[in-house]
Structure 1
Amino acid sequence: MLEMAKRVAIIGSGASGLTAIKCCLDEGLQPVCFEKGTDIGGLWNFKEEALPGFASVYRSTVINTSKEMMCYSDFPIPKEYPNYMHHSWVIKYFRLYAHNFGLIKHIRFRHHVDHVKPREDFAQTRQWDFTYTDEVGNNVAHEKGTATTEVFDAVMVCIGHHVYPHYPRGSFEGIDDFQGKTLHSHDYKDHHGFENKRVVVIGIGNSGGDVAVELSRHAKQVYLSTRRGTWIINRVSDHGLPVDIVKARRAKSAIIGRLPVSLVRKLAHDELNKRFDHALYGLQPEHPYFGQHPMVNDDMPNRIITGSLVIKPNIKRFTKTGVVFDNDTVEEDIDAVVFATGYRFDFPFIDKSVMKVENNQVTLYKYVFPPKLDPPTLSIIGLVQPVGAIMPISEMQSRWATRVFNGTTKLPPQVVMCDNIRQKAVAMSRRYYQSPRHTIQVDYVPYMDELAEQIGVKPNFKSLMLSDPGLAMRCYFGPCTPYQYRLMGPGAWRGAKEAIETQWDRITHPTKTRPVPVAKSGGMPGILQLLILLVLVVAILFKLF
């Protein structure tokens, strides 16, 4: 029997790297985290200047997922924190998490990873040659700037997918003659320098929307250029609640899954167009809502209706001082162009014999394990684009990976893994339009459940209904918060039930800053409530599971 993994190298100390460290500790492994920067937080550690090789956010960045949906499953975000957090709150939470679980001592800062490759006797030892450069040089054995190779039993790659900007500047005719300023949104920090300018933003993802909206408050005029358009959802949903708290519910997913696809699309489009007509505002795409990663933006229609932001089609070519669009409209005297054209992901330090990235595609079993690597002692954590929060997904991936490393959980045969990968690729191509952006898409609840099944932590609602009906109802009909995956199975947390029962207090606390009288509604008769409850219980026990 092969010796179980002991030392685990973790690359990156951002949202994925921190939880990878903790999961290693939970499983009795010895993590050593390599962070090329000077601090934790990755993408969410704001820097005044964007640095090559580092993820970057702008000064005003606010996360798109609410705190109860994005927290790690055994560490609720404090009730005082806002539901949608500015990056300064996100990094503050990460520091609390790292301090609470003693993670910092396992991190080597200013250590750059150069090369990761299987040892020559990998089939027998499962081990890796891990070469890095120590930029600190405070270790007697390692001088500053010298490369060192250590041996590790397993590797977890946690660098995310916002490190390498996709900057197709050269693909636009006339761009070299354009006399204005050009930059990628990776390098954008705030509106300073754009005041009273005429600006074009290319790309209609979340970054493009945020940058265009922010600049529209300070620039003379902003044009947002898009090839396909987009569907826009608000952070604030029904009754002022976070949209993911309202939408990410098991009961809702079960109902939608039983309706005809055409009906679901119509209902979604009708709901999205209630706030503003996407066609009227020049935003409606040809593809349906579920065929694209949506934009989360609360302010764009307000900026469009005031004229400070104008939606334009794709750019045909640049002139020396302006832009010609596909519909042959021309805007002259353009001072700056921001390319919000997304990112490409890559792992240049991983030996090509292990895995390769081509056209933003990589072959991974459930987006975590290279299927042909045997034994499976390398995992990629956080390489997904969820319709939902990444933090609990990275945590679930790490819980699974560490149990595979220590031998308590097994992967299926290679042929099964490859077949699963093909099925996902086919499903992805049928649902989404072809784009480098749509190669790692996942839906939050189904993907979390899929991973949870691998390690035995998916909530068992039949047994939960019999043991604690109230909790079962909260979990099934309420928001699918990460705590549900700590109720049972390996890694169960005693505080999970309480966290679920108190989650609404944490949701409502930040906005209850002024006491107001609450009007009491008549409600429905108690007997009717009881009948509805009984019907739902029967449905859960005998129909849905």
Structure 2
Amino acid sequence: MQDTPDIADRHDAVCVIGAGGSGLAAIKNLREQGFSVDCYERETSVGGAWNWRHDRSPVYANTHLISSRPLTEFPDFPMPDDWPDYPHHSQLLGYLERYAKHFGLGDSIWFGTEVVAVTPVGDGRWDVTTRSTGGGAERIQRYAAVIVANGHNWSPKPLSVDTSAYRGKVMHASAYKDPAQLRGRKVLVIGGGNTGCDIAVEAAQQATTVWHSTRRGYWYAPKYIFGRPADQVNDKMLQLRLPLRLRQWLYHRTLRLTVGDVTRFGLPAPDHRPYESHPVVNSQLVYYLGHGRITPLPDVARLEGSTVELADGRRIEPDLVITATGYLPRFEFLAPELLDIDEDGKPDLHLHAFARKHPTLAVVGLVQADAGLFPLAHWQSVAVARWLRLRVSDPVRATAVQQKESTRPLRSWTRLRVVPSSRHWFEVSHTSYLRTLEDLLKQMEPVA
């Protein structure tokens, strides 16, 4: 296509959206494949969700990893050996800042710049409209490909019940930042995921009264099993390729021995098998339940006046309600059909990464794994970068790879049996997923 005065053609350059962990990995691996890269980051520094200074960061003062250090670090940039098993969020931010500096990624990032629109213009190319977050004129640049790494833990999922008639304070977990917000309050935490459990535990140490409402029963895993981080024990079982039913039995048996029967604390029994939901990793929830500092409750039916009515008809009067309802993926700059987004907001992507109808559009980091995200984002971005390079160097072979990948069984790279909720849209077993990426990379290896 011919360039026009108001569109700057960047020719073979690739646009990356977001400079969090996934975006940084994408920049690095694209540049290693010889691509020029322009990364647009709406904030003024790197880190994404792990940078607590960012408006959209869900991080609060006491946030730590729930995946252990060896299963969270980038494979080509290890975390320090003297770090704890579960690093603090400030350590994670420093780690990402050092990663960006080590690989010299800063000169590819345009900070304080948000992407307004991404539009296909034919021949696999894209017009990317940007503007300064401080205002000003929009700018359009044309790219050979677009990699989206805008994260999926920043757009709060609304509570399913109306709160407009409630006079107490209601806030999403993303607005919770410091234990002082809980001090001396009567707190209701809604949501049984990791964030909801963590905030309930913090409230148990600060608030006068703590209720914890969950919709269903969960499997609550301690952070340590047999003296090792729990995810490392699970990783060993996956490496041994133990059958799922055997792993489920071992998991259930281990929790019986370490955590015990949680129904005796008033929690509902899990309505699903182990590994059919994202693991809740929390060693302290049962401790505070056992000490009477947290009162478990069923789902919330209504909020009105000063009262919260529960599904079983009981009523409570909290003065602070924290909704730990999770997040939904949002791609405001893309037309929904580009990622095959359905009416619920779920995109349909091959390997949760490759747009099915647009071979030069991909998303990095849109996975929910039983381990840390960074290793998966690294190998996703390696696969995307090599795919884009193959399209340039050997388009015939690239077509053959694409045709073969289109027949790959869904069960080989994603979990099919999971609890039906948006929390599990992108659930994968990290070992199965990495094996699938390894197979894809082998298909794209240079021919001798």
Q: TM-score, normalised by structure 1?
A: 0.74
Q: Which residues of 2 match residues 7-18 of structure 1 at below 5 A? A: 7-18=13-24
* 1:481-500 paired onto structure 2 within 5 Å: none
- The separation in 2 between residues aligned to 1:309 and 1:229, in whole angstroms, is 16
Given candidates 228, 247, 265, the residue that maps to 2:234 is 247
SS in 2 for 1:10: strand
- Assess if the C-alpha contact under 8 Å between 2:365 and 2:373 holds in 1: yes
Mark the CA change 1:93 to 1:413 in structure 2 (over 3 Å): closer, same or farther.
closer
Match of 1:396 in 2: 379
Cα distance in 2 for residues equivalent to 1:158 and 1:186: 19
**Which one of the candidate residues 340, 364, 367 is aligned to 1:381?**
364
Q: Which residue of 2 aligns with 1:33?
A: 39
Alignment map for 1:154-165 (pairs within 5 Å): 154-165=145-156
Give distance in 1, aligned partners of 2:410 and 2:74: 30
- Residue 439 of structure 1 deviates from its aligned partner by 1.3
Larger Rg: 1
C-alpha deviation, 1:385, in angstroms: 0.7
Are the equivalent residues in 1 in contact too, given 2:238–2:431 (CA < 8 A)? no
Which secondary structure does the structure 2 equivalent of 1:16 belong to? helix
C-alpha separation between the residues in 1 aligned to 2:400 and 2:433? 18
Q: Distance in 2 between matches of 1:5 and 1:254?
A: 46
Q: Is the 1:317–1:324 Cα contact (8 Å) retained in structure 2?
A: yes
How far, CA to CA, are the matches of 1:428 and 1:69 in structure 2? Answer: 19
**Which residue pairs with 1:230 in the alignment?**
218
Identity among equivalent pairs (%): 30
Deviation at 1:246, TM superposition (A): 2.5
- After TM superposition, give the deviation of residue 294 of structure 1 in Å: 1.5
| AA partner of residue 302 (structure 1) | Y
For 1:167, the equivalent position in structure 2 comes to 158
Alignment RMSD:
2.4
Letter in 1 for 2:153: H
Please tell me whether residue 348 in structure 1 is matched to residue 305 in structure 2.
no
Is 2:335 the counterpart of 1:367? no
Structure 2 letter corresponding to 1:163? W
Which residue does the alignment assign to 2:130? Answer: 132
SS of equivalent residue, structure 1 residue 118: strand
Partner of 1:506: none
Counterpart residue number, 1:70: 72
Of 174, 183, 189, the match for 2:177: 189
Letter in 1 for 2:161: F
Q: Secondary structure at the match of 1:410?
A: helix
- Match of residue 48 from structure 2: 42
- For 1:41 and 1:111, how far apart are their aligned partners in 2? 15
Residue 310 of structure 2, aligned match among 320, 325, 337: 325
* Paired position in structure 2 for 1:206: 194
Q: How does 1:466-545 map to 2 (within 5 A)?
A: none
* Residue ranges of structure 1 left out of the alignment (5+ in a row): 137-143, 459-488, 491-545
Q: Distance in 1 between matches of 2:263 and 2:148?
A: 42
Q: 1:382 to 1:247 in 2, by over 3 A?
A: same
SS at match of 1:201: strand
The aligned runs of 1:230-309 (5 Å cut-off) are 230-239=218-227, 241-249=228-236, 252-257=238-243, 261=245, 263-276=246-259, 277-281=261-265, 282-309=267-294
More helix by share: 1
Instruction: Tell me, in whole angstroms, the C-alpha distance in 2 between the residues paired with 1:157 and 1:55.
Output: 18
Question: Do residues 110 (structure 1) and 112 (structure 2) align?
Answer: yes
Contact residue 112 and residue 134 of structure 1 kept, 8 A: yes
Shift in alpha-carbon separation, 1:157–1:255, aligned structure 2, 3 A = closer
Q: Secondary structure at the match of 2:212?
A: strand
Letter in 2 for 1:454: L
Q: Which amino acid aligns with 1:338?
A: I
* Shift, 1:422, TM fit: 5.7
Question: Corresponding residue for 2:88?
Answer: 86
- 1:478 matched residue in structure 2: none
CA distance in 2, matches of 1:453, 1:416: 11
| 8 Å Cα contact 1:231-1:283 kept in structure 2 | no
By how many angstroms is 1:304 displaced? Answer: 0.6
Render the CA deviation track for 1:312-337: whole Å, top value 9, x for unaligned: 11112234222222222222x31011
Deviation at 1:433?
A: 2.1
Provide the rounded CA distance (Å) in 1 between the counterparts of 2:366 and 2:305: 39
Q: Secondary structure at the match of 1:176?
A: coil
Which AA in structure 2 matches 1:67? R
In structure 2, how many angstroms separate the alpha carbons of the residues matched to 1:411 and 1:434? Answer: 34
CA deviation string 1:370-411 (max 9, x = no partner): 1122xx111100011111111010010000000111116736
Unpaired runs of 5+ in structure 2?
A: 1-9
- The answer to whether the 8 Å contact 1:5/1:406 transfers is no
Is contact 1:19-1:395 (8 Å) kept?
Answer: yes
Deviates more, 1:149-158 or 1:264-273: 264-273
Equivalent-residue separation in structure 2 for 1:357 and 1:390 (angstroms)? 22
Instruction: Report the secondary structure of 1:290's partner residue.
Output: coil
CA distance in 2, matches of 1:229, 1:26: 46
The residue aligned with 1:334 is 318
Amino acid at match of 1:180: G
Deviation at 1:183, TM superposition (A): 0.6
| Structure-2 residue corresponding to 1:216 | 204
- Distance, in Å, in 2 between the alignment partners of 1:423 and 1:326 is 36
Q: Which amino acid counterpart does residue 80 of structure 2 have in structure 1?
A: P
Distance change (3 Å), C-alpha of 1:72 and 1:208: same
